[in-house]
Structure 1
Amino acid sequence: MLGWGEEEWEGVDTGGEAMGPWLKERPSLPKPLTFLQEEEFRPMASKGTKAPAIGIDLGTTYSCVAVWQDNHNRVEIIPNDQGNRITPSCVTFTEEGRLLGDAAKNKTDMNPTNSVFAIKRLIGRRYSDSSVQNDMKLWPFKVVAGPKDRPKIVVNYRGIEKQFYAEEISSMVLVKMKEVAETYLGCIVKNAVITVPAYFNDSQRQATKNAGTIAGLNVMRIMDEPTAAAIAYGFDKITKDSKKKRVLIFDLGGGTFDVSLLSVLHGKFVVQATTGDTHLGGEDFDDLLVDHCVKEFKKKYNKDITGNAKSLRRLRTACERAKRILSSSVMTSIDVDYLYEGVDFSTRISRARFEELNKELFTRCTHLIEKCLGDAKMDKTGVDVVVLVGGSIRIPKIQQLVQDFFDGKKPCKEIHPDEAVAHGAAIQAANLIGQRDKEVQKLVLVDVTPLSLGVDTVDEGMSVVVPRNTPIPTKLKRGFETNIDNQTSVRIAVYEGESAEIKYNNLLGEFEIDGIDPAPKGVTKLDVWFDIDADGILTVSAKVKSSGQKKEIVISKQNGELTAAEIQKMIEDAAHYKAEDEKHKARISLEYLAEKLKSMALDSARSASEMKSMEDKAENAIAWLETNHLAEIGEINKQLKELKTSFPALCEEN
């Protein structure tokens, strides 16, 4: 530990990097690949062009992916195979295989214990965290304590119990977004910028980066969501406005809330302050509405459904639907047939009642706006533009509270709340790989540290070296001294957080300097440096002034929780699961074609011999599937090829 020494601060100029534009119109939907087309799909970048880099908004409830298109000089939001521009952040495990995105969400009501969602609330956290313990009471899937207090999700996959870290589940969502982009672009995608809430701590950021690695992505940057949204808002204005604008981003999503204040001038985006809550969003509004309905059901029928995962999941789906309806209507109903023990449930809910249930959470949002402005030492009258981002800003009361807070100033609604973050991330990704557009190259981003960083002292307090909202990259130094006589070693423990007591903050890492010459306390002086680069990677070093002894720690490598071997194992597992998915799709394709062939064989316009041949081929294919459950994908594709060769007209139709 260190004693309080003479305070000594040094800093270096902050820097940044360029960024750039945003969507003017929606692109036409791509033609989804069928399995048969995928056989000939050979992804590769177009000759003479850079391999594309994508921006991914990895959300609590929905995710979105976008790309900067040089040939159109704009960002395009990429629709998934269902034509939707946002994809549920959900993974469902079944007896047959694994479902991702829309297919997974559609199965949550029927298979709640094996459907994993809201994983963003678990990533980078400890099992013993109070927020994790509270969420576990609401999730239908099971969470257990793993090694080093890391939570693991327990599911039944193909009849076998499996346990996954949060990073693995997040990587599955990222795999889906990667595949969505590759299908649209027609080439392999490796480089990506992934966004996180501004108030994510170091553990959560590193865990998100690990998830990207497991998904087969080169994560070029972990970017704050409000900063990405500000770029989406401000890019097309940078060549038009010669006056500095102060933009406040109010980002309320499915599970997290951020407020950031940025100044924008001539393509330079400078984050002045950021604050937030990593456990405040649409999921919490749903929780309170579900709790209200559970109590009403118990009051009406004297039945408690809290122990029935399927009933709770069906009720939650109805409550989510009601919440969305109340954004455009003042009254709606929540109806669930046979909710529990054959009893139907129906109740009316008004917008006013919904707002009353969530009054405390809504008010917390405005308190965080005050905190952000206070950190920036700015009055609300100094804010030029308020931008609302995130699906939960559609709630009328939220919009009203923000407008009232700014004395009637109407928030900007020029950018799509669900797509803005991915939009800005795509611009950042384009800049990092050096795409050609001049406006992209001109942009500069100066971000800040969301949490204070410091070291522990002898009184178990935290001595702050880097105050929160310090622009990055930066390098700051503070002087310390030994606190006991004849001290020969010093332990440097690095923390992040806002509490004066270290027990309430997050330990990032620690190291020790040995071999210090014995001396009375206070005689030996040390310099502790905190060096943060543009990626937010923190290097802490300490040097003994008298002897020159030095030691350092790179926090990002220490705090990822997962070892290199664990990450490599998860990468291999991810490849295995993808191969299983492909095999499952191939079996479905073969079964579908065989059934189609049987149906066509009934056409009386065909000759008897042709009908017999078609029926025999179909029956043989179905029988083969039934007796070859463990067949590899190559064997399945061989059966598909035989059908294609025998009946090319059938395959052309599919």
Structure 2
Amino acid sequence: MNVLQFKKKNKENNRNNSYSSESYPKSPQGASAIGIDLGTTNSVVSVFSNGASHPVTLEYENSYLVPSMIFFNKNENENFVGNKAKLQNEITPVEVIKSTKRSMGKNNALFESNGKQYTAEDAATLVLNYLVSHPTLQEEKEKFGGIWAVITVPAHFDDAARLATVAAAEKAGIHVLRIVNEPTAAALAYSMMPEDKKTEKETLAVFDLGGGTFDVSIVDRDGLVFNVLSSEGDVHLGGDDIDEAIANSLVDKVHPQLVARRSSKSSELYRNLILLAERAKKALQSEGLYQVQANDLDGKGSSIETELSRENFDEMVAPILQRTLFLTESAMHAAKRNPKYISRILLVGGSTRLVLVRKMLSDYFACIVDARLEPDLAVSWGASLQAAIIIGIQPDTILVDVCSHSLGIGVVENTEAINENFKTVAKKFGIPYPISEQELHRKLGARIEDFNNELQKLLHVAPILHRNSALPARRSEFFNTIYHNQHAVHVVVVQGEGDIVGENRLIGSFLFELEQPCPKGTRCEIQLTYDVNGMVHVFARQLGTKNEAKAQFDSRTGEVTGWTSLNLDDEDQFTDNEKLHNVDEIYEKKSTTKQLEKAMSHENIVSFPFGRKKEDLQKAELSAYECEPEIVNALILRAKRYLNKIQKENKEYNLILESLKKYSSLLLKAQQGHENDEDIELVETNLLALLEGK
């Protein structure tokens, strides 16, 4: 496998070659600002017109809320969407498709209604088609030749889920102006409240607990400027989990006994218990006791007659709400904010109506729990305001959002690590080791791709863009090849916080061909970009050459879908995210004493810098920074993490520290032209042995 060796960031990335995000559609002059909340349980559309003080929410069949449900009527060969599907859910819940949002971007997740299968993207397309059928939107379509809208998604949606949302909208004939995180949209919505318009500085916590997903964002507000500091969330946490907790408690109360074997989540019995759980949940917000009674839950005579108290309900729900509080604390920590500095908690999502939710937040924050806006409508209001900002109806409002996941690429420590990974996977596939490439292909045949995928999962992750970087975000890291005459590098891009590729969401990969000759240690720049929609683009460059590639992925399949052109015109739109992590501070300290003290610490143990070969040093004058060994490889990164976990007084600490210093020195000499591969390999072996406790 052609892979890269990790190197820490170089000042050279301040120059960052930029390339444009995909060009987002511009709405025609006079078009309305449309915001769509494509929800797990319900979807909502709001329209912000020029000169209006607030959005207007569209009604469908006398309701603002459109159930995000699908039912395939095989007799009429027709899809029922919204309230029609919800009515059918009361009769045959097992045949109604709902809560598909959690599976967006996962094409292998299929939902079935009367023998017809749908992906989550298919279901979203049908819901959006239904929303577009509203007379107001049809009039907009006839007048301007299309519909331009902002669509919201959970803050913790990954790249594949966001891309699937855009694809569903496009299939429904919607031009997506922007993808906006739901809690961010809600914060904008609250700014339209008359009493809020005069508010200057405040820090908000947006608590968004919907039917299937949970998000929390910490937002600094300064007048009409909204700066999202951090977002946390879980796309598998919401009101559905509360319903399931209640339904699970009811299974044992069903008569006749031993019915549990017929109570799988897809069974008719369980779907009917979910309906009972929903009713109980709503009733217990105003009543202390609720009678649960139903007959023939499964067509086989199973019935239930029991009661639930508020105390029972709170006990079942508490562990679920505790998870939301844990994520809230994590968001507070990432934003570097203390609960006492939060001015208000903004409630968003239907599940925030629970009495226990409001009590929990009041106890934790000790500030105003703000529920003045209808929880189900706040997100679509904010989305329409964001659309108004984009098309110029509300030009004074500024929104800066953040990315929800870190981005990085797969790397290895050295050739020994590659051999160890290969040995591990070979054992898993029952293949002898060592083995020639030709023999490997002969033995595996069509399974060779699976073999390579398993190898890929074992790569370490070198993070490039960090979670909660302001959008749009862009950052480069520099890497070294690990073989002499390496002809290409396999660039594997992942999204998540795991240490190895297999613990993260694979965005995609591509082969970057290298110009020859290509000695060991050839430098490559990998630049990752989150655009304003939170989607991913990749730029690769072989330093010292004109060899470069710029790719974007369909992260649902991992395939390269296009190559974006280099464009320096949009340089100003990117935030300098290096400053967010204070990684440049050390280089601004000029004191010799401070530099010396840092050099003696394991924090400064580094490998060779990216630079020219020894014979090239006479041809060009390098900056002081480029001459300084400040670039870290994956083995050193691993060692530094290990040192951070043990005491400095420990004998093991000093042994590893001395090995690191020696390793760095040898790598630096190698980059300057010295032939010392054997010495490097010996020190690598000793260092690995120390780290593994051998």
TM-score normalised by L of structure 2: 0.68
1:165-176 matches, cutoff 5 A: 165-176=119-130
Q: Which residue of 2 aligns with 1:549?
A: 547
1:109-143 deviations in whole A, cap 9, x for unaligned? Answer: 333343111110221126xxxxxxxxxxxxxxxxx
Secondary structure of the residue that 2:482 maps to in structure 1? coil
Give how far 1:287 is off.
0.7
Task: Report the AA paired with residue 497 of structure 1.
Answer: G
State the distance in 2 between where 1:181 and 1:54 align: 14
> Cα gap change, 1:6/1:166 in structure 2, threshold over 3 Å: closer, same or farther?
closer
CA contact 2:510–2:560 (8 Å) conserved in 1: no
Aligned counterpart in structure 1 of residue 352 of structure 2, from 371, 390, 393: 393
State the distance in 2 between where 1:533 and 1:237 align: 33
Q: Which residue of 1 aligns with 2:669?
A: none
> Cα gap change, 1:359/1:51 in structure 2, threshold over 3 Å: closer, same or farther?
same
- Consecutive unaligned residues of structure 1, counting only runs of 5 or more, are 15-44, 127-149, 565-654
Task: Report the AA paired with residue 448 of structure 1.
Answer: V
CA contact 2:253–2:305 (8 Å) conserved in 1: no
CA contact 1:362–1:398 (8 Å) conserved in 2: yes
State the distance in 2 between where 1:274 and 1:519 align: 42
Give how far 1:239 is off.
8.0
Q: Please give the root-mean-square deviation of Cα atoms over the aligned residues, in Å.
A: 2.6
* 1:8 maps onto 2:1 in alignment: no
Secondary structure of the residue that 1:510 maps to in structure 2? strand
State the distance in 1 between where 2:122 and 2:382 align: 25
More deviation, 162-171/358-367: 162-171
Task: Report the AA paired with residue 378 of structure 1.
Answer: R
> Cα gap change, 1:12/1:281 in structure 2, threshold over 3 Å: closer, same or farther?
farther
State the distance in 2 between where 1:467 and 1:357 align: 36
* 1:281 maps onto 2:260 in alignment: no
Give how far 1:52 is off.
2.3
State the distance in 2 between where 1:155 and 1:350 align: 35
Q: Which residue of 2 aligns with 1:410?
A: 368
> Cα gap change, 1:185/1:414 in structure 2, threshold over 3 Å: closer, same or farther?
farther
Give how far 1:559 is off.
4.4
Task: Report the AA paired with residue 112 of structure 1.
Answer: P
Aligned counterpart in structure 1 of residue 303 of structure 2, from 336, 344, 353: 344
Aligned counterpart in structure 2 of residue 362 of structure 1, from 317, 321, 324: 321
Secondary structure of the residue that 2:9 maps to in structure 1? coil
Q: Which residue of 2 aligns with 1:529?
A: 527
Q: Which residue of 2 aligns with 1:73?
A: 53
CA contact 1:492–1:510 (8 Å) conserved in 2: yes
Task: Report the AA paired with residue 497 of structure 2.
Answer: E
Secondary structure of the residue that 1:416 maps to in structure 2? coil
Secondary structure of the residue that 1:526 maps to in structure 2? strand
* 1:468 maps onto 2:467 in alignment: yes
Give how far 1:316 is off.
1.6
Task: Report the AA paired with residue 88 of structure 1.
Answer: P
State the distance in 1 between where 2:514 and 2:15 align: 31
Give how far 1:504 is off.
0.9
1:153-232 matches, cutoff 5 A: 153-156=111-114, 161-180=115-134, 182=136, 188=142, 190-232=147-189
1:172-208 deviations in whole A, cap 9, x for unaligned? Answer: 1111222236379676461111110000000000001
Give how far 1:409 is off.
1.8
How many equivalent residue pairs?
Answer: 496
State the distance in 2 between where 1:226 and 1:479 align: 35
State the distance in 2 between where 1:508 and 1:382 align: 37
Q: Which residue of 2 aligns with 1:482?
A: 481
Task: List 4+ stretches of structure 1 deviating above 6 A.
Answer: 183-186, 560-564
1:558-598 deviations in whole A, cap 9, x for unaligned? Answer: 5477999xxxxxxxxxxxxxxxxxxxxxxxxxxxxxxxxxx
1:211-610 matches, cutoff 5 A: 211-236=168-193, 240-241=197-198, 243-297=200-254, 301-304=257-260, 305-306=262-263, 309-340=267-298, 341-406=300-365, 408-435=366-393, 440-459=394-413, 460-522=459-521, 524-555=522-553, 557=554, 559=556
Q: Which residue of 2 aligns with 1:123?
A: 104
> Cα gap change, 1:327/1:560 in structure 2, threshold over 3 Å: closer, same or farther?
farther
Give how far 1:534 is off.
2.1
CA contact 1:78–1:181 (8 Å) conserved in 2: no
Q: Which residue of 2 aligns with 1:41?
A: none
Secondary structure of the residue that 1:79 maps to in structure 2? coil
Secondary structure of the residue that 2:254 maps to in structure 1? helix
More deviation, 239-248/503-512: 239-248
CA contact 1:315–1:336 (8 Å) conserved in 2: no
The structure with higher relative contact order (CA 8 Å, sep 6+) is 1
Give how far 1:222 is off.
1.2
CA contact 1:527–1:545 (8 Å) conserved in 2: yes
> Cα gap change, 1:224/1:99 in structure 2, threshold over 3 Å: closer, same or farther?
same
State the distance in 2 between where 1:385 and 1:206 align: 32
> Cα gap change, 1:469/1:192 in structure 2, threshold over 3 Å: closer, same or farther?
same
> Cα gap change, 1:211/1:260 in structure 2, threshold over 3 Å: closer, same or farther?
same
1:447-493 deviations in whole A, cap 9, x for unaligned? Answer: 11110011111151111110000001222111111123332211111
State the distance in 1 between where 2:377 and 2:284 align: 22
CA contact 2:4–2:482 (8 Å) conserved in 1: yes
State the distance in 2 between where 1:174 and 1:490 align: 41
Q: Which residue of 1 aligns with 2:80?
A: 99
Task: Report the AA paired with residue 10 of structure 2.
Answer: E
1:542-570 deviations in whole A, cap 9, x for unaligned? Answer: 11112231112123x45477999xxxxxx
State the distance in 1 between where 2:537 and 2:259 align: 56
Task: Report the AA paired with residue 502 of structure 2.
Answer: K
Secondary structure of the residue that 1:226 maps to in structure 2? helix
Task: Report the AA paired with residue 3 of structure 1.
Answer: Q
Q: Which residue of 2 aligns with 1:114?
A: 95
Secondary structure of the residue that 2:136 maps to in structure 1? helix
CA contact 2:163–2:555 (8 Å) conserved in 1: no
State the distance in 1 between where 2:323 and 2:42 align: 23
More deviation, 465-474/66-75: 66-75
1:266-322 deviations in whole A, cap 9, x for unaligned? Answer: 311111100100100000100111111112215x64433415833332222121011
Give how far 1:505 is off.
0.5
CA contact 2:509–2:559 (8 Å) conserved in 1: no
Give how far 1:68 is off.
0.4
State the distance in 2 between where 1:59 and 1:374 align: 28
State the distance in 2 between where 1:62 and 1:452 align: 30
Task: Report the AA paired with residue 516 of structure 2.
Answer: D
Task: Report the AA paired with residue 537 of structure 2.
Answer: T
CA contact 2:160–2:555 (8 Å) conserved in 1: no
> Cα gap change, 1:290/1:461 in structure 2, threshold over 3 Å: closer, same or farther?
same
Give how far 1:238 is off.
9.6
Task: Report the AA paired with residue 92 of structure 2.
Answer: N
CA contact 1:456–1:492 (8 Å) conserved in 2: yes
* 1:57 maps onto 2:37 in alignment: yes
> Cα gap change, 1:451/1:79 in structure 2, threshold over 3 Å: closer, same or farther?
same
> Cα gap change, 1:222/1:396 in structure 2, threshold over 3 Å: closer, same or farther?
same
State the distance in 2 between where 1:242 and 1:103 align: 43
CA contact 2:411–2:460 (8 Å) conserved in 1: yes
State the distance in 1 between where 2:301 and 2:529 align: 62
> Cα gap change, 1:207/1:77 in structure 2, threshold over 3 Å: closer, same or farther?
same
Secondary structure of the residue that 2:352 maps to in structure 1? helix
